[in-house]
Amino acid sequence: MKRILFVCTGNTCRSPMAEALFRARVKAAGSEWEVRSAGVAAYDGQPASPQAVEVMEEYGITHDHQASRVNSELINWADVILTMTGSHKSLVVNYFPDAQSKVYTLMEFVGVEGLGDIADPFGGSVEEYRRCAQELDHLLDRLWAQLEKGEQKR
């Protein structure tokens, strides 16, 4: 597994932040992982929300993001697809049933018990985006540690 696709709704908040945060880890480690993001209801070409851009800049990350809608090309490209919610996972599996074995919620994949959903900060304050980014950062630390140990799912 060398390609990860993060998926949310509009691909302007959660999944672009996850992509940017994970890509920063990959770059810092000199790793060969590839990472992209998409949305189940995205409008191709939309920029990341201004709050997401601001919060990523606070992390020292500049991410010139343009939204992409989940499509068969991205599904086939990915080795693993990590969604922000259980609903996103269900939608991806419903539209791309052959991908079922590689689709997980991010929380499920890293072994976090509970609701399994990362709250959508869309339309919220910068502080809500910061909280979302902090949650993602914590989960991505777990993901990175898991991948570094070679503990990959099925």
Residue pair 59/102 in contact (Cβ under 8 Å)? The answer is no
14 labelled catalytic: yes
Given the residues 14, 23, 25, 36, select the one marked as catalytic. 14
Given the residues 79, 117, 120, 137, select the one marked as catalytic. 120
Element (H, E) at 144: helix 126-148
130 labelled catalytic: no
Q: Which residues contact 19 (CB under 8 A, 6 or more apart)?
A: 6, 35, 36, 37, 63, 65
120 labelled catalytic: yes
Given the residues 8, 13, 23, 25, select the one marked as catalytic. 8
Catalytic residues: 8, 14, 120
